[in-house]
Amino acid sequence: MNKSQLTAIIKEEAYRLGFTHCGISKADFLEEDARYFEQWLSKGMQGKMSYMERNIDKRLDPRKLVEGAQSVISLLYNYYPSEKQNSDSPKISKYAYGRDYHLVIKEKLFALFNFIREKAGHVSGRVFTDSAPVLDRAWAKKSGLGWIGKNANLINPRAGSFFFIAELILDMQLDTDAPIKDYCGSCTRCMDACPTEAIVQPFVVDGSKCISYFTIELRDSIPVSFKNKFNNWMFGCDICQDVCPWNRFSKPIDTDELKPYKEILSMTSGEWQEITEDVFKEIFKESPLSRAGFDGIKRNLQFLKPQSD
């Protein structure tokens, strides 16, 4: 089996496993992204996400993660839900409606990796889904799966931006895909809509001002200066994606693997306020909400209360 035939059957298997898009790029140093990333860090836009400052060499060069790496396979997995939350409920990012995506996608990545080994013989590599120092959006862009929008999200012209990104880094050579052009044009809807002004200029998001950062990553108290700016977002934020015109092409998922928890969709604000730690841990033990933890969710709920309370 030649390189092109192997590339074709890898993509076919990726689609069979449920990935909506698959692109391949050469494993090499991300020179352009290195300059941007270093500038972003130097301005403190990572906030207190100190992990962003570690393993920078591995983030920029996949050969530091996999010895002899030659190819990066980038994959997209749709999470756009068909259902919506109760209107009387603090808002949760759509990606967190159901089971933790790490658990779902990792299983599929290993299945694809094993398939490649069966077809190609001995292959060394690693799988990644937002769980190691990999610049996933940069690799997806390089692999032709979309462009980086002004909100710093990857945007696909046929699917929008409500998807997870995953990678396989392999020590084998495959046919590569070409990047596509940027179609944001003069649109600034994401910038205009951000209530905390986290998108400080086109394509640059100050992570330390993002609602998702405050409600998920930050372990300290949320700065009082951001009071009444969260638009009722309790965990994460979808504002810059919800207003993006390209997300009119988003299609609801047709699988039960990321089926929303009924509690996410139906719980009212009052029920969230009254939830106990034991109930929270039981319901959301395999949910992305466990990242913030019970104490973090309670802190967020308290912060969302009106000043007069």
Q: Where are the beta strands (DSSP E) in the chain?
A: 21-26, 71-78, 91-92, 125-128, 147-148, 154-155, 163-170, 199-201, 204-205, 233-235
Q: Is residue 260 part of a domain?
A: yes
Q: Are residues 113 and 221 in the same domain?
A: no
Question: Measured between alpha carbons, how far is 14 from 7 in angstroms, rounded to an integer?
Answer: 11
State how many domains the chain has: 2
Report the pLDDT value the prediction gives residue 307, as an integer from 0 to 100.
Answer: 57
Q: Are residues 259 and 143 in the same domain?
A: no
Report the pLDDT value the prediction gives residue 271, as an integer from 0 to 100.
Answer: 93
Q: Is residue 228 part of a domain?
A: yes
Q: Are residues 157 and 211 in the same domain?
A: no
Q: Are residues 287 and 218 in the same domain?
A: yes
Q: Are residues 157 and 199 in the same domain?
A: no
Q: Is residue 90 part of a domain?
A: no
Q: Which of 206, 123, 202 is nearest to 169 (CA)?
A: 123
Q: Centre a 10 Å sphere on the Cβ of residue 279 and count the other Cβ atoms it contains.
A: 13
Q: Are residues 133 and 228 in the same domain?
A: no
Q: Are residues 153 and 35 in the same domain?
A: yes
pTM above 0.85, yes or no: yes
Phi, psi of 284 (to 5 degrees): -110, 25
Question: Measured between alpha carbons, how far is 60 from 62 in angstroms, rounded to an integer?
Answer: 7
Enumerate helices (H) and strands (E) in the chain, giving the number of each: 12, 10
Report the pLDDT value the prediction gives residue 309, as an integer from 0 to 100.
Answer: 41
Q: Is residue 211 part of a domain?
A: yes
Q: Which domain holds residue 17?
A: 3-80+100-170
Q: Are residues 41 and 157 in the same domain?
A: yes
Q: Is residue 212 part of a domain?
A: yes
Phi, psi of 125 (to 5 degrees): 175, -175
From 57, 88, 130, 295, active-site residue: 130
Q: Are residues 25 and 126 in the same domain?
A: yes
In the predicted model, residues of the chain with pLDDT beneath 50 are: 308-309
Q: Are residues 139 and 204 in the same domain?
A: no
206 is catalytic: no
* Percentage helix, strand, coil for the chain under 3-state DSSP, each rounded to 5: 40, 15, 45
Report the pLDDT value the prediction gives residue 188, as an integer from 0 to 100.
Answer: 98
Q: Are residues 55 and 125 in the same domain?
A: yes
Q: Are residues 284 and 230 in the same domain?
A: yes
